[in-house]
Chain A
């Protein structure tokens, strides 16, 4: 096999088969992935959740992960937010001519390992090669299918006054890690991405209670954006306490240097969970026992007033508004 992807790898002939057999099939091996045109899957009981997502990240490899791992985390976490156990996913790659095959293999391997960790089978795939400069390295698109767990009713519209707001770990580390990995600002910090598949955590949480009102995956836009979405969809106010929001100290330092708000930095393995207050301690207990959620915390509650807004209790006990999300994130210096 050549060391670089060429247009011949996308032409459908011998080299395409070599690429698919030598890399994709090798790592994705499972009974549903065949050479046929579509995967035929067994019957699913109950309601089905389905999602799709695209993954473009620069740089493709970053401390704590890569675009392949991200593709699985993003897909299974979206399903988990609806109370669905992820079962199957598809992976479609558009690869730039000249892309290193060794790098591709590393991405696919990482994707397969993360899929295995999440317990999801990659049942169909597609590969296209685009001419040099037509895509930036590799674009991955996925679809995911999951089985909604019986008795759950999760929606961004279900938050009710009195509910508590939990986050499954310290926030914004993925966004901060990517920002530093791009090295535009000369800042160094010991940060790794928070990317993680959280579907097992979801199953443990609904084992505590099926009466969880909202689970949201705080990805692009961060926890702040998710809170504004929930406030708007549920027609309630959100009140959070500044000092209770878990932020890695190094990330806080980076944010201080660049004038960024950690609540608006992306996460790739963080749930925002909204549930009746009575379950707070039990939910925090299972979260803190989880592999990716040791720093889980209660950051606030849902309130009837200030509909559609996120209010912050400050360190002096005063109340102020969290500036609504908007615009490009730009480092603020003066």
Chain B
């Protein structure tokens, strides 16, 4: 449905950002996300940042599996 690639925000300017995916760089739009800064990781789809990637890893999931 939607291929996404995690990439690091290198620099930002007027709603666009240059992102770096292990050395491949591309300018993308970050207009629809708030609170994105250089150094953040974002999920990129079709030239747009669709989400910020956070460290919040699987809290609910861990709970469900732990209860089992």
Question: Measuring CB to CB, which residues of chain A are less than 8 angstroms from any residue of chain B?
Answer: 185-190, 248-254, 256-257, 259, 332-334
Q: Is the CB of B1 within 8 A of A187?
A: no
A304 to B60: give the CA distance in the assembly, Å.
46
Task: Report whether B24 and A250 are in contact in the complex, using a CB–CB cutoff of 8 Å.
Answer: yes
Complex A-B: 29 CB contacts under 8 Å: A186-B26, A186-B27, A187-B24, A188-B24, A188-B25, A188-B26, A249-B22, A249-B23, A250-B22, A250-B24, A252-B22, A252-B24, A253-B7, A253-B20, A253-B21, A253-B22, A253-B24, A254-B24, A256-B24, A257-B5, A257-B21, A257-B24, A257-B26, A257-B44, A333-B3, A334-B1, A334-B3, A334-B45, A334-B46
CB-CB contacts below 8 Å: B21-46 with A:
21-27, 44-46
Assuming the A-B contacts A257-B44, A333-B46, A334-B46, are A189 and B25 also in contact, with contact meaning beta carbons closer than 8 angstroms in the complex?
yes
Taking CB as reference atom, which chain A residue is nearest B47?
A186
- In the bound complex, residues from chain A placing their C-beta under 8 Å from that of B44 are 257
Expressed in whole angstroms, the Cα–Cα distance for A194 and B22 within the complex equals: 19
Residue contact A187 to B26, C-beta cutoff 8 Å? yes
A333 to B2, CA, bound (A): 7
Q: Can you list, as one digit per residue, whether each of B5-28 has a CB less than 8 Å from chain A (1) or not (0)?
A: 101000000000000111111110
Interface size class on chain B is: 10 to 19
Residues of B within 8 A of A189 (CB): 23-25
With both beta carbons as reference points, the residue of chain A lying nearest to B1 in the complex is identified as A334
A257 CA / B46 CA spacing, docked (Å): 8
B3→A332 contact, CB < 8 A = yes
With a CB–CB cut-off of 8 A, which chain B residues contact A334? Answer: 1-3, 45-46
Which chain A residues border B7 with CB–CB below 8 Å? 253
Known contacts A185-B26, A187-B25, A253-B20; 15 further A-B pairs (Cβ under 8 A):
A186-B26, A186-B27, A187-B24, A188-B25, A189-B24, A249-B23, A250-B24, A251-B24, A253-B5, A253-B23, A257-B5, A257-B44, A259-B3, A332-B3, A334-B3
Measured between beta carbons, the chain A residues less than 8 angstroms from B27 are 186
Task: Report the minimum CB–CB distance from B7 to chain A (whole Å).
Answer: 8
Q: Please, which residue of chain A has its CB at the minimum distance from the CB of B26?
A: A187
Closest to B46 in A: A333
* Pair B23/A190 contact, Cβ less than 8 Å: yes
- How far, in whole Å, are A186 and B2 apart by their CA atoms in the complex? 20
In angstroms, Cα B21 to Cα A249, docked, is 9
Which chain A positions have C-beta within 8 A of B3? 259, 332-334
Q: Which residues of B contact A256 (CB under 8 A)?
A: 5, 21-22, 24
Chain B nearest CB, measured from A267 CB (Å)? 18
Residues of chain B within 8 A (CB-CB) of A190 are 23
* A-side contacts of B20, CB under 8 Å: 253
Residue on B nearest A250 in the bound complex, by CB? B23
* Residues of A close to B22: CB separation below 8 A: 249-250, 252-253, 256
Q: Which of B3, B20, B23, B24 has the most CB of A within 10 A?
A: B24
How far, in whole Å, are A254 and B25 apart by their CA atoms in the complex? Answer: 8
Tell me the complex Cα distance, A332–B1, Å.
11
Q: Give every chain B residue within 8 A of A249 (Cβ-Cβ).
A: 22-23
In the complex, what's the smallest C-beta–C-beta distance from B53 to chain A, in angstroms?
14
Q: For residue B6, which residue of chain A has the nearest CB? A: A256
Shortest Cβ distance from A79 into chain B, in angstroms?
A: 34
